[in-house]
């Protein structure tokens, strides 16, 4: 029984992933708005709701 070795050419591909800076900026603004709204709600609760108890 003989084992045949195949001579295969392997092609290397380097794929560069490009990041769209406008998409990164809009995502940052979206999450910054989420954080600002959350902090605003927590501030409102701490200043106006909790002292009434």
How does pLDDT run across 18-44, given as a tens digit for each residue? Answer: 778 899 999 999 999 999 999 999 999
- Give the pLDDT mean for 11-17: 82
pLDDT at 14 over 60: yes
pLDDT at 17 over 90: no
Quickly count: other Cβ atoms within 10 Å of residue 30's Cβ: 9
Give, in degrees to the nearest 5, the angle at Cα 7 between 6 and 10. Answer: 120
pLDDT at 4 over 70: no
Say what the pLDDT of residue 15 is: 82
| Whole-prediction pTM | 0.59
């Amino acid at each position: 029984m003989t084992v045949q070795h195949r001579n295969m050419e392997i092609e290397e591909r380097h794929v560069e992933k490009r990041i769209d800076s406008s998409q990164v900026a809009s995502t940052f603004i979206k999450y910054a708005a989420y954080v600002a709204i959350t902090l605003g709600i927590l501030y409102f609760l701490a200043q106006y709701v909790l002292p009434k108890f």
